Structure 1
Amino acid sequence: MRRIRPEEVDRARMDPRLLDASEYRNEIQGNYRMSADDWLREGNCADAEPDLMYPEPREPVDEALALCASCPVRTPCLVRALEARDRHGVWGATAPRERRAMMEVWKDMAPIDPLAVSA
């Protein structure tokens, strides 16, 4: 596996999908079970073939990303993948390589502590 380049990490810092995921994580304040079965059933990929969402390395992911584009749980899906540090498959409308760069940023994006904000 190739190392993530610094410019990829810099792009990830400004990626709207990552910024939405960070905002979402702050909004839910730990009240969302990312492993809940009902959450998984809401995704556009719920009935998709596993090979579509988990392509072999270097296989195109365009079809999976297109499926994710209008998914109602795209942002929580990305949060789940980032929290789990999932490096395989398409999650939250991101390809594995994109997500690896996002993970470098995510680990430094601490959730907002609601108690510190109200103090």
Structure 2
Amino acid sequence: MKYIVVTSTYAPTSTAAPERSRPACAGQDPDIFFPDGDLGPTHPQITEAKQICARCPLLQSCLQDALERGEEHGVWGGLSTNERHELKARRVSGRLLEAA
């Protein structure tokens, strides 16, 4: 079974902190965000997860944290596994071009 780990980055630590937003994925079935296998970007499960992410107030921080943690599977920050790998590859190639 897969879980979305709720941390202070993704959810408020108490009800006394109303300035912190809750992630749109809170309370959703985590399996939506972890499709079986590499099913492509048009797979309905990935599309559903991305629609949930699109309305999330923490979209950017979720994506940044997923990239920093090296999340290998699932939809994080509105990007699928393949999209995050492509983003990482573009960042690395951009750094290599700057260094040359």
Gaps of 5+ in 2: 12-21, 96-100
State the AA in 2 paired with 1:75: Q
State the AA in 2 paired with 1:50: P
Gaps of 5+ in 1: 1-34, 111-119
- The reply on whether 1:49 has 2:34 as its aligned counterpart is no
Q: What is the CA-CA distance between 1:39 and the residue it aligns to?
A: 2.2
- Percent identity, aligned pairs only? 30
Q: Which has the higher contact order (CA 8 A, sep 6+)?
A: 1
54-63 vs 96-105, which deviates more? 54-63
**TM-score normalised according to structure 1 size:** 0.56
Q: What is the CA-CA distance between 1:62 and the residue it aligns to?
A: 0.3
Alpha-carbon separation, structure 2, partners of 1:101 and 1:90 = 14
How many pairs does the alignment contain? 76
RMSD (Å), alpha carbons: 2.3
- The reply on whether 1:64 has 2:64 as its aligned counterpart is no
Q: Which structure dedicates a bigger proportion of its chain to helix?
A: 1
Q: What is the CA-CA distance between 1:70 and the residue it aligns to?
A: 1.3
Q: What is the CA-CA distance between 1:108 and the residue it aligns to?
A: 6.3
State the AA in 2 paired with 1:46: A
Task: Identify the match of residue 92 of structure 1 among 77, 86, 98.
Answer: 77
State the AA in 2 paired with 1:81: A
State the AA in 2 paired with 1:48: Q
**TM-score normalised according to structure 2 size:** 0.65
1:47/1:36 CA distance change after superposition, 3 Å: closer
SS at match of 1:80: helix
Report if the CA contact (8 A) 1:85-1:103 is conserved.
Answer: no
1:109/1:37 CA distance change after superposition, 3 Å: farther
- The reply on whether 1:39 has 2:9 as its aligned counterpart is yes
Runs of 4+ with deviation above 6 angstroms: none
